[in-house]
Chains A and B, each alone.
Chain A
Amino acid sequence: MTTTTLAVLVPLLPFLGAAAGLLLGRTAPGYVRPLAVLPTLTSLVLAVLVAVDQGGDQAVNAATELTPTGSVPIELALHIDGFAALVAVLVGLVASCVQIYSTGYLRDDPRYPSYAALVSLFTSAMLLVVYSGDLIVLLVGWEIMGICSYFLVGHYWETPEARAASLKAFLVTKLGDVPFLIGLFALATDAGSFRITKILGTVASGGLDHPTLIALLLLAGVAGKSAQFPLHTWLPDAMAGPTPVSALIHAATMVAAGVYFVARLLPVFEASQAAMVVLAAMAAVTMIGSGLAALAQDDIKRVLAYSTIGQLGYMTGALAVGDRGAAVFHLLSHGAFKALLFLAAGVIIHAAGTNSLAGMSRMRNLRDRVPDAYWTMSVALLALAAIPPFSGFFSKESVLGAAEHVSTGHTEHAPGAAGWIVLVAALLTALLTAAYATRLWLLAFRGHGIEAPDHGRQPLTMTVVLWVLAVPSLAFGGFAYGTLPDWFDGRDLAPTLTTSVLGTGVALVGGIVTYAAWRHTTALAVRVPLGAVAAHPEGDAGLVEAEAIASHAPAYGDVASAPDPADPGRLLLGPLHRHAAVGFHLDAVYGALFVRPVQAGASLVRFLDREVVDTYVRGAGALPRWLGIAVRRAQTGNVQTYVSALLAGTVVLAVAAVLVATGA
């Protein structure tokens, strides 16, 4: 089979799996699990084969035009360069892990068939985005991901949080997608084609007429999908979905799509200095804000969600300094360790019966209940905190290195201001990242108090994938940084001495400070008893998690935070904690800026409609109504009256006709 055929099969197989799963879900439940896992695994293998075939050489391009559209042609096109090949392997790997994990996680869930089919569809859409060489085809995958995330985040739709979160995820991403669509059209109009290769050719020859406008419009969509400030608010709320879905959304598919899209079209953005600075500022605000917010969250998954936003900030930061190799490098390593973090968090929530860090910090020996999750999560957290030699270190250093390279003015791709913004924000975020990673680890695994409940061993499907993902989290960065430049633009990704020392240094400082704060506060935990566990701890993990999410707000007062004085984050953040816990009131700002004006406008329209327009309508209706009352009197129901009137009329007409005919 040619590379093209293989590449076509990669997104197609999960799609067929999804269709078959939806069709057979009710009639043949025995086939649902194989139909969920096997197509995804096969497409992982095929993606690896495609990557091997492509080998970082010349990009594979293939296109076929289905039908003429009249204006700018839309083609089913493939464009597989090193980025696409490697990202597809990551998507396949994470999706396969998630599918295998889900068979255990949602073991007894009655809606598992539709869930698995939607995950497959989600995977297929992301693979389509990755391989597509045509922007409209890319947009199809982009929007399918949007609707799939709506369904999957709302999987526990019995809980109001999940319903609200799914709607929010859908609406916020759509808010970005509208300008995105307009941007795509503007880009295609300028370039005369939706093909990525042709667009890049146009950009290279300087044929783009409105680079800043297009770049900013596209950025809105990217910010929505990749959860960048100010459109990131859907992501923490999306934690109301099942954990495997969070892993899938955060590690490989949805949020990666935005970064990947910018990486693909980076020359378009580079054509506008303003767009690059905006991108850098967006990345910086996202990074620092999410780091602070992550330090204040109580829900273990919300900590990870904010951490995702921060790491995505790193990627957009790398893009803002014009180094897409570093961005995709971080995307790959982050995909591996973030998927691991979420899947391990799912195991921990199942074992602890709660998703609250405050609750876990009051359990002794939780780490002994889930040794697999303990060890793998430690690896992943070290990778997240960018401690050498874990993979996160190398990818993050490549971002820092790129920013430093730009800030010292060594390149013409990106403005120096963007470099400085990204560099400072990234170092600050490295500190915060290490701090919240340490806090998460200490609170979850170093708790004191009552013995953690014992529900027996976790399902094998859930623990094995943790170790599978631990391998790249541990080793991917160290082995890959030397070879990856061959696949990407060829720019060196090796860590430089200055940034390595700086980055690792601030990370260590963050970790140590958090540890000290924890030592200081942990004694308070005994005095303030807190905690609530799921009602059915023996159920499957999905059920436990749904109950934990539903009971967090009644037990701790809020979905995001807990009134826990033993929390080191509370000590570290001081007065900021209150604001950080609610995501710096951004939801309230949105409420004041958009929701309330819209509601006020709606009530104004309602008033105008009811009181003003309807008055005229009613007035216009009065005359017909009076006529109707008059005519109604004739409706006696007596058939003879009707026939009399009919015949009288007939006679009159006949006489008139005769008179006219005779000329009288």
Chain B
Amino acid sequence: MLAADTHGFLSPTGVEIAFFLVGLVTFGAALVTVTTRQLVHAALWLVVTLGGLAVEYLLLTAEFIAWVQVLIYVGSVVVLLLFGLMLTRAPIGRSPDADSGNRWAALTVAVIAAAALIWVVVDAFRTTWIDLDGAPAGSTEVTGKALFQNWVLPFEALSVLLLAALVGAIVLSRKAKADATPAADGGAAGPDGGGAAKADKEGAR
């Protein structure tokens, strides 16, 4: 861009410093999420990660997305995941076998993938500059206009998809109920109610 020379990496702006710090927290929380041995803690660290991402959205002036992130992810998805953990009787406290025997292969793949991705991304967008001044790029007004002017049809298709997901969740849990063993009591309401609640939320949005 034209501002390539004026914006060096060694003289960061305030927003950049804030983004960097929050990103550090986010990444750290993500790392803890995938490595902690306490399953419930993983879910809680996921909240930190998702919240950090919401702050990053705000810093990128996409405020609507940020609030949706907080509402949907932090508000419902994590709650659902916690429900799932409880319903599958996940152990509370440290469990020694939280990682499978595949972790070294996983680590190798992940590190190589990260190296490749970062190399490519940095190589490609080293000089690209985002101008964050002026009107916010993702205010509710702007997003609403875009969504309901240009994206109405996919939006409606998405509602059909959500309906299908709702029906699917009900079918899955009902089938389980039909041949449920006495040991599996009270499990049916979980995904069903969760799915319905989430679908309602999506619809409201």
Quick one: which of A638, A641, A651 contacts B113, CB cutoff 8 A? A651
A641:B102 contact, CB within 8 angstroms:
yes
Q: Verify if A613 is at the interface (C-beta below 8 Å from B).
A: no
B102:A644 contact, CB within 8 angstroms:
yes
A644:B116 contact, CB within 8 angstroms:
no
B109:A651 contact, CB within 8 angstroms:
yes
Closest to A650 in B: B113
- Is chain A's interface secondary structure helix, strand, loop, or mixed overall? helix
Interface string of B93-133 (1 = CB under 8 A from A): 00000001010011011001100100010000000000000
A647:B109 contact, CB within 8 angstroms:
yes
A638:B112 contact, CB within 8 angstroms:
no
B102:A648 contact, CB within 8 angstroms:
no
Interface string of A651-663 (1 = CB under 8 A from B): 1001100100000
Which residues does chain A contribute within 8 Å of B100, judged by CB atoms?
638, 640
> How many angstroms between the C-alpha atoms of A638 and B100 in the bound complex?
10
Which residues does chain A contribute within 8 Å of B105, judged by CB atoms?
641, 644, 648
Interface residues of A in 138-167 (CB under 8 A from B): none
Closest to A651 in B: B113
Closest to B101 in A: A638
Which residues does chain B contribute within 8 Å of A658, judged by CB atoms?
116, 120
> How many angstroms between the C-alpha atoms of A78 and B100 in the bound complex?
87
B112:A651 contact, CB within 8 angstroms:
yes
> How many angstroms between the C-alpha atoms of A655 and B117 in the bound complex?
9
Which residues does chain A contribute within 8 Å of B113, judged by CB atoms?
647, 651
> How many angstroms between the C-alpha atoms of A24 and B120 in the bound complex?
80
**Within the complex, what minimum Cβ distance (angstroms) separates A258 from chain B?**
70
B116:A654 contact, CB within 8 angstroms:
yes
> How many angstroms between the C-alpha atoms of A655 and B109 in the bound complex?
12
Which residues does chain A contribute within 8 Å of B116, judged by CB atoms?
651, 654-655, 658
Closest to B104 in A: A644
> How many angstroms between the C-alpha atoms of A648 and B116 in the bound complex?
12
B106:A640 contact, CB within 8 angstroms:
yes
Quick one: which of B102, B108, B112 contacts A640, CB cutoff 8 A? B102
How many chain B residues touch A (CB < 8 A): the figure is: 10
> How many angstroms between the C-alpha atoms of A612 and B116 in the bound complex?
56
Which residues does chain B contribute within 8 Å of A644, judged by CB atoms?
102, 105-106, 109
Closest to A647 in B: B109
**Within the complex, what minimum Cβ distance (angstroms) separates B190 from chain A?**
23
B120:A638 contact, CB within 8 angstroms:
no
Interface residues of A in 606-649 (CB under 8 A from B): 638, 640-641, 644, 647-648
Interface string of B34-67 (1 = CB under 8 A from A): 0000000000000000000000000000000000
> How many angstroms between the C-alpha atoms of A638 and B101 in the bound complex?
10
Which residues does chain B contribute within 8 Å of A640, judged by CB atoms?
100, 102, 106
Q: A interface, how many residues as a size bin?
A: 10 to 19
Which residues does chain B contribute within 8 Å of A655, judged by CB atoms?
112, 116
**Within the complex, what minimum Cβ distance (angstroms) separates A394 from chain B?**
88
**Within the complex, what minimum Cβ distance (angstroms) separates B76 from chain A?**
27
Which residues does chain A contribute within 8 Å of B108, judged by CB atoms?
648
Interface string of A496-524 (1 = CB under 8 A from B): 00000000000000000000000000000
> How many angstroms between the C-alpha atoms of A640 and B108 in the bound complex?
14
> How many angstroms between the C-alpha atoms of A198 and B90 in the bound complex?
95
> How many angstroms between the C-alpha atoms of A640 and B116 in the bound complex?
21
Which residues does chain B contribute within 8 Å of A638, judged by CB atoms?
100, 102
**Within the complex, what minimum Cβ distance (angstroms) separates A650 from chain B?**
8
B120:A648 contact, CB within 8 angstroms:
no
Which residues does chain A contribute within 8 Å of B102, judged by CB atoms?
638, 640-641, 644
> How many angstroms between the C-alpha atoms of A648 and B108 in the bound complex?
9
Closest to A662 in B: B123
**Within the complex, what minimum Cβ distance (angstroms) separates A656 from chain B?**
10
**Within the complex, what minimum Cβ distance (angstroms) separates B193 from chain A?**
28
**Within the complex, what minimum Cβ distance (angstroms) separates B197 from chain A?**
29
Which residues does chain B contribute within 8 Å of A651, judged by CB atoms?
109, 112-113, 116
Which residues does chain B contribute within 8 Å of A647, judged by CB atoms?
109, 113
Closest to B110 in A: A647
Closest to B123 in A: A662
Interface residues of A in 244-279 (CB under 8 A from B): none
> How many angstroms between the C-alpha atoms of A40 and B165 in the bound complex?
70
Interface residues of A in 420-470 (CB under 8 A from B): none
**Within the complex, what minimum Cβ distance (angstroms) separates B9 from chain A?**
22
> How many angstroms between the C-alpha atoms of A654 and B100 in the bound complex?
26
Which residues does chain A contribute within 8 Å of B109, judged by CB atoms?
644, 647-648, 651
**Within the complex, what minimum Cβ distance (angstroms) separates B23 from chain A?**
23
> How many angstroms between the C-alpha atoms of A651 and B116 in the bound complex?
8
Which residues does chain B contribute within 8 Å of A654, judged by CB atoms?
116
> How many angstroms between the C-alpha atoms of A658 and B106 in the bound complex?
22
Closest to B112 in A: A651
> How many angstroms between the C-alpha atoms of A255 and B205 in the bound complex?
90
**Within the complex, what minimum Cβ distance (angstroms) separates B195 from chain A?**
24
> How many angstroms between the C-alpha atoms of A640 and B103 in the bound complex?
10
> How many angstroms between the C-alpha atoms of A67 and B100 in the bound complex?
75
Interface residues of A in 95-136 (CB under 8 A from B): none
> How many angstroms between the C-alpha atoms of A640 and B106 in the bound complex?
9
> How many angstroms between the C-alpha atoms of A638 and B108 in the bound complex?
18
Which residues does chain B contribute within 8 Å of A648, judged by CB atoms?
105, 108-109, 112
> How many angstroms between the C-alpha atoms of A589 and B102 in the bound complex?
76
Closest to A646 in B: B109
Closest to B103 in A: A640
**Within the complex, what minimum Cβ distance (angstroms) separates B32 from chain A?**
20
**Within the complex, what minimum Cβ distance (angstroms) separates A658 from chain B?**
6
Interface residues of A in 31-87 (CB under 8 A from B): none
> How many angstroms between the C-alpha atoms of A644 and B109 in the bound complex?
7
> How many angstroms between the C-alpha atoms of A651 and B120 in the bound complex?
12
Give the most central of B100, B108, B113: most A CB within 10 Å.
B113
Which residues does chain B contribute within 8 Å of A641, judged by CB atoms?
102, 105
> How many angstroms between the C-alpha atoms of A638 and B116 in the bound complex?
26
Closest to A638 in B: B102
> How many angstroms between the C-alpha atoms of A654 and B113 in the bound complex?
9
**Within the complex, what minimum Cβ distance (angstroms) separates A556 from chain B?**
67
> How many angstroms between the C-alpha atoms of A648 and B113 in the bound complex?
8
Closest to A640 in B: B102
> How many angstroms between the C-alpha atoms of A201 and B100 in the bound complex?
94
Which residues does chain A contribute within 8 Å of B106, judged by CB atoms?
640, 644
> How many angstroms between the C-alpha atoms of A655 and B112 in the bound complex?
10
**Within the complex, what minimum Cβ distance (angstroms) separates B176 from chain A?**
21
> How many angstroms between the C-alpha atoms of A644 and B102 in the bound complex?
8
> How many angstroms between the C-alpha atoms of A21 and B120 in the bound complex?
82
**Within the complex, what minimum Cβ distance (angstroms) separates A577 from chain B?**
78
Some 26 contacts from A to B, beta carbons below 8 A apart, are A638-B100, A638-B102, A640-B100, A640-B102, A640-B106, A641-B102, A641-B105, A644-B102, A644-B105, A644-B106, A644-B109, A647-B109, A647-B113, A648-B105, A648-B108, A648-B109, A648-B112, A651-B109, A651-B112, A651-B113, A651-B116, A654-B116, A655-B112, A655-B116, A658-B116, A658-B120
Beyond A644-B102, A644-B106, A648-B105, 6 additional pairs, beta carbon < 8 A: A638-B102, A640-B106, A644-B109, A651-B112, A651-B116, A655-B112
The 3 closest A-B pairs by CB, nearest first: A640-B102, A644-B105, A651-B113
Chain B residues packing against A (C-beta within 8 Å): 100, 102, 105-106, 108-109, 112-113, 116, 120
Chain A residues packing against B (C-beta within 8 Å): 638, 640-641, 644, 647-648, 651, 654-655, 658
